Structure 1
Amino acid sequence: MEKDIDRIAKNNDTDIVIRVDDFGGKRGVTIREFVKGERYTGFTKAGTRIPADKFSLFKKAINSINEKELMEFPVQDNQQVSSGKKEDKKQFKEKKPKPADESEDMDEFAM
């Protein structure tokens, strides 16, 4: 079962498609880019899938975004610039991610 919820134009050749679907026997929401070009027309790998049992967490996170802040304030660039040297790569590997709450296990978001 597939049901397209919305299609948002990203540019002249690409739409962002939001749909409820059943993939591998599991229901969820898929958000994926759809391109229209001379060589290829169809879905790309760019996007994600939110399993149905994680949708309420996703919806809560999206709804927590303050639209006024989103539109008014510049995003801080927290990325470090890498020289490409081996020591820079090692530096990034040594950083450990913050522990996640077990109820918000993100492994299921992987495709």
Structure 2
Amino acid sequence: MTTHNAAPQRRPDHPTWWRIPLVASALGLPVLALEYSAIRAQAGMGQYGAALYWALALFAAAWAVPHRRTFRTFRILAGGAALAITLLPVTLLLILGVMLAE
């Protein structure tokens, strides 16, 4: 007589789930902290403050998603979007500086 376990089996964790959030956080969080301190020094967050909070929330979401392989795409999108939101103002300032230097 054989018995079958009726309980659903939990899928194993993705072994390298932490790489994408780590790379996005290592590149983006120092820049985000600098942007936040520069904005706070100018007496208010304004409309740009919402973008900083969105970027921080997306960094947190990239880390907080369950560690299964099915969430890999969401983890990539959240980390990439957070990094893009963080680096876009710095990139635009660098492009503006290059254009004005000539």
Which bracket does the TM-score occupy, shorter chain normalised?
under 0.3
Q: Which has the larger radius of gyration?
A: 2
Higher-RCO chain (CA-CA 8 Å, sequence separation at least 6): 2
Give the structure-2-normalised TM-score. 0.22
TM-score, length-scaled by structure 1: 0.21
Q: Which has the higher helix share?
A: 2
